[in-house]
Chains A and B, each alone.
Chain A
Amino acid sequence: MPDLKPITALGGDTARRLHHGALELEENTELALASLALRRGATQPTLCGIDLPGPGAWALSDEIAAFWTGPDQWMVEGQNRADSDFASEVAALCPGCSVTQQTDGFAAFEIRSSAGETPILQLMAKLVNIDPIRFPSGSATRTGLEHMSVFVIRRAAHHIAILGMRSAAGSIWHALEKHILRIEDRKP
């Protein structure tokens, strides 16, 4: 047997991290994703106690979370489940819905602030054309980031996540790294 070695979306053996000033950027290699779509006329299922959120929203329950991606469509997230068959677990909970594995299509990046929400608001203003004030915790949306299509999730006031195409992981990391370094270096 050839000796195969799994690598992360950025090509490393372990998740890449950057800590600069108040902001910490981390590649989230453990996030499992599955998309969920209702068939025409189907009733909306309940997932592990989550009421599937409405437009622009993200909802969390223990290690499962879901956010709205389009009319009757959601993305379901499983923290620390990337090496499991997450889509079939979700499909079993949602009979009659269309569920597709998305884990290997996306790369996830978590950005946390140790100095409250101010650095997060400054970073969002640089990165995406979304009003950060009207994007409180529990919000999620798809938007453009340096011409790449990404999902932005406000998991908490001091914590955002960026999910983008896995094939563009290096470009997304570069964009996030560049702006984090600039923001933190500009402080007096």
Chain B
Amino acid sequence: MLIPHPLLGLRDAQEFSYLGDASLLDRPDGLAEKAGDAFFSYVYLRENPAGVHRELWFHEQGDRSWLVVTRNTVTHEILGAELARDVALRSRSPRERGDPA
């Protein structure tokens, strides 16, 4: 299986290690109300789709970047990959990104 690294091109999946669902990027706020419920689902509850799935892969024997890889769990077709850093920064507010407000 080859993973299309956004910076380095096609790389063997053996160079990567798999973490899991890309929703792990959205860590709940521990100080919010009902943080316990939010953390329960964050830690324990996962979708298990037969089909397209977004997941985190770590390029351990490479540039040590985290990727969000979109993969079809039925056919193992890789539909795309992007840097997890870019995905995380997109979903945060400008202040959290360190941009001047």
Q: Give A residues with C-beta under 8 Å from B.
A: 40-41, 55-56, 68-71, 129, 134, 141-144, 149
Number of B residues whose C-beta is below 8 Å from A? 15
12 further contact pairs, Cβ within 8 A, besides A129-B14, A149-B60, A149-B61 = A40-B98, A56-B7, A56-B8, A69-B63, A70-B63, A71-B65, A71-B85, A129-B15, A141-B62, A143-B61, A143-B62, A144-B15
Q: Are B83 and A142 in contact (CB under 8 A)?
A: no
Q: Are A143 and B98 in contact (CB under 8 A)?
A: no
Q: Are B8 and A55 in contact (CB under 8 A)?
A: yes
15 examples of A-B residue contacts, CB within 8 angstroms: A55-B8, A55-B63, A56-B9, A68-B63, A69-B63, A70-B64, A70-B65, A134-B9, A141-B8, A141-B62, A142-B62, A142-B64, A143-B62, A144-B14, A144-B61
Q: Is B12 an interface residue (CB 8 A)?
A: yes
Query: Which residues of chain B have C-beta atoms less than 8 A from A56's C-beta?
Result: 7-9
In the complex formed, the residue of A with least CB distance to B10 is A131
Q: Are A142 and B61 in contact (CB under 8 A)?
A: yes
Q: Are B98 and A55 in contact (CB under 8 A)?
A: no
Complex Cα distance, B58 from A70, in Å, reads: 13
Q: Are B98 and A129 in contact (CB under 8 A)?
A: no
Query: Which residues of chain A have C-beta atoms less than 8 A from B63's C-beta?
Result: 55, 68-71, 142
Query: Which residues of chain A have C-beta atoms less than 8 A from B15's C-beta?
Result: 129, 143-144
In the complex formed, the residue of A with least CB distance to B98 is A40
Query: Which residues of chain B have C-beta atoms less than 8 A from A143's C-beta?
Result: 15, 61-62
Query: Which residues of chain B have C-beta atoms less than 8 A from A144's C-beta?
Result: 14-15, 61
- Identify which of residues 1-50 in chain B touch chain A, using a CB-to-CB cut-off of 8 Å: 7-9, 12, 14-15
Query: Which residues of chain A have C-beta atoms less than 8 A from B83's C-beta?
Result: 71
Complex Cα distance, B85 from A98, in Å, reads: 20
In the complex formed, the residue of A with least CB distance to B100 is A41
Query: Which residues of chain B have C-beta atoms less than 8 A from A70's C-beta?
Result: 63-65
Q: Are A129 and B12 in contact (CB under 8 A)?
A: yes
- Identify which of residues 57-101 in chain B touch chain A, using a CB-to-CB cut-off of 8 Å: 60-65, 83, 85, 98
Which of B7, B60, B98 is the one whose CB lies under 8 Å from A41?
B98
Complex Cα distance, B64 from A41, in Å, reads: 20
Query: Which residues of chain B have C-beta atoms less than 8 A from A142's C-beta?
Result: 61-64
Query: Which residues of chain B have C-beta atoms less than 8 A from A68's C-beta?
Result: 63
In the complex formed, the residue of B with least CB distance to A41 is B98
